[in-house]
Every structure is written in structure tokens, then in C-alpha cells.
Amino acid sequence: MAVGLGNPGKEYAGNRHNVGFMAIDYLAQEFQFSVKKVKGKAIIIEGQTSGLRLFLVKPQTFMNLSGEATAYLFRYYKISINNLLVLHDDIDLPFGTIRVRPSGGAGGQKGVASIIQHLGTQDFTRIRIGVGRPPGRMEAADYVLKDFSKAEKDELPFVMNTITNAFKELLTNGIESTMNLYNGPVLKE
């Protein structure tokens, strides 16, 4: 089960905070998954690849309550903690950088904190997607709720392609291989 974090609603669609939702949409398109349903306060896009049943999830609870929907689906589908992946924005990483981690704290990301609280563990894989730091004295909360710049929007397809390749590597060869290959700057192909 891959859970992309973001806020529901058209007004948030292009925000940096919604890069997790963007990644889920990109993965669904890449894998040609089209079975979409709503369950437990989340949109679920379901499909199979390489003999694996995958759930691509976008919680509809708003970012800070993402743990409610994630925990419900985690238990409903009886997902092993080893089979949970969370994709989320990270202001501590430069734009165009991803970091794959097998576990860890929330790092100030309130959606991840909510998931940790509701699952009672931080031992789940995540892909942190760099959105960069706010300029000047802008508050982080204001920055992540702004849309990507024109230049960043032009680069997003390369970032999403890298996330997709990292996701495929994770499914095929596991966390160590994925971290070795993808923890660094996103390079144009």
C-alpha cells in the first residue's frame, strides 16, 4: 500500500504540500491502474503489477489527519508494516531530491506524525520528496501551501519519473538497493 500525502480539493492541487498526491497520480498513470474507489476517508486506486496487488492511496482527511485514513485501510486490508510506503513533501530536502528511508521520525511533517500516532510505529518505508526551504522569512506552513513555481513545474515530470523508478526498484529489489540508487539529486534523463 502506497500512501501519498496531501490535502483534498482543487485549491490545493498544485501546492508543494500535495506532491505526495501528485506522485500517486503519476504512479497510477504509469501502471495504468484505473479502478478507483473511496473507502475509509481515502481515494484508493487499485491494480496489479508483476503479480502484486497494489493500493495507491490519497487520504481525504487533510494532511494533519492522514493517519486516520491510513490506519483504517492498513487494518482493513491487513497490510504488513513492511508493505506500507508513504510519499510526502519535505522542506529539508532541495527541490528535485528524493530520499528513501526504511523508518524514522516525522521530521516536522504533520501528516507523517499523524500516521506514526495512529499506527503506533514509525517503522514504515517512506519516500521523502524535496520541495526546498521557504525563501526569506516566509513561514514553512505558508510555503508548502503555495503552488510550485513555473521552473519547478517544468522539472516535476523528471522528479515524478525518478519516484516511479524508485518505486519499481523498491518492489523488485527492496529498500537497500533503492536507497543506494535513488538517494540523491534527481537528474534529467
Residue-range domain boundaries for the chain? 2-185
- Which position has the grid cell 505558508? 142
> Looking at 1, 6, 7, 17, which residue is catalytic?
17
150-173 and 175-182 helices cross at what angle (nearest 10)?
150
pLDDT of residue 184: 66
Check residue 64 and give its pLDDT.
Answer: 95
State the chain's mean pLDDT as an integer.
95
Give percent above pLDDT 70 in the chain. Answer: 97
**Nearest alpha-carbon partner for 42 in 20, 69, 65:** 69
Taking the mean position of all CA atoms in its chain, how far away is CA 47?
A: 18
Contact at 8 Å (CB) between 66 and 75? no
* Cβ-Cβ contacts under 8 Å for 114 (sequence gap 6 or more): 63, 64, 65, 66, 67, 68, 70
What's the mean pLDDT in 52-67? 96
Model's pTM, two decimal places? 0.95
Kindly report the CATH number that applies to the domain delimited by 2-185.
3.40.50.1470
Angle (deg, nearest 10), helices 19-31 and 150-173? 60
Question: What H or E segment, with its residue span, contains residue 37?
Answer: strand 35-39
What does the pLDDT look like over 10-53, one tens digit per residue? 999 999 999 999 999 999 999 999 889 999 999 999 999 988 99
- Output phi, psi for 99, to 5 deg: -135, 125
Q: How confident is the model at residue 187 (pLDDT cuts 50, 70, 90)?
A: low
- Other beta carbons within 10 angstroms of residue 64's beta carbon come to 14
Query: What tens digit of pLDDT does each residue of 63-95 get?
Result: 999 999 999 999 999 999 999 999 999 999 999
Q: Is the pLDDT of residue 189 over 80?
A: no
Is 17 labeled as catalytic in the residue annotation?
yes
Rounded CA separation 97/19 (Å):
12
Question: Residue 134 gets which letter from DSSP?
Answer: P
